[in-house]
Amino acid sequence: MIFCFATNNAHKLEEIQALLGGAFVLKTLSDVGCHEDIAETADTIEGNSLIKAQYVWDNYQINCFADDSGLEVAALNGAPGVHSARYSGIRDYATNNQLLLKNLADITNRRARFKTVITLIINGQAWQFEGTVEGQIIETPRGTQGFGYDPLFVPTGHTRTFAELTLPEKSQISHRARAFEQLVAFLSKQ
């Protein structure tokens, strides 16, 4: 089955290709001729996921899926949440991580969770799948794998950050992996 994965994020594409294996052929936005920066204007992760998938379907008439993810920190009332990618006002991992650490200075409750919502559109009909992983934000970044907040996030039951895990290890437990497991299970029944 061929799908457009509504992203130009090479890190996400690498993770998803590892999760899906050879069961599906993935095309990126640029593969289908979409070079626009699809505006993520929703107030929720679910909403942004739907916006991206709906845009691809409406403009390119190709079955597709889109994901949106965010880090939700309990002590920050769920922030950065839907604004995770541009938490500091710009799309820069290091700057976003520095702001998160600054906002958590002197806060002992460092519980957080990563959340991914995938919107799948087949022939114009949409479904959504959600995956989460609970964990803690540490005080100093560790690791060089992954992207975003991965160097600060230690999943519950582990001692290493997402950035210290190999891609296969992360793919076993991540929020994105959990959401994509649901997507794959759904597609296998179609």
Bridge pairing between strands 125-137 and 153-155? antiparallel
What letter represents residue 172's amino acid?
Q
43 is catalytic: no
Instruction: Considering the candidates 58, 67, 68, 150, report the single residue annotated as catalytic.
Output: 68
CA distance 73 to 118: 21
CB burial of 85-98 (b: ≥16 within 10 Å; e: otherwise) equals bebbeeeebeebbe
Q: Are 65 and 52 in contact (CB under 8 A)?
A: no
Of the chain, the end-to-end C-alpha distance in Å amounts to 11
Across the strands, what pairs with 136? 111, 154
- Torsions phi, psi for 52 (to 5 deg): -65, -45
Question: Smallest Cα–Cα separation from 81: which of 94, 67, 68?
Answer: 68
Question: Smallest Cα–Cα separation from 11: which of 19, 23, 2?
Answer: 19
- Active site residue ranges: 68
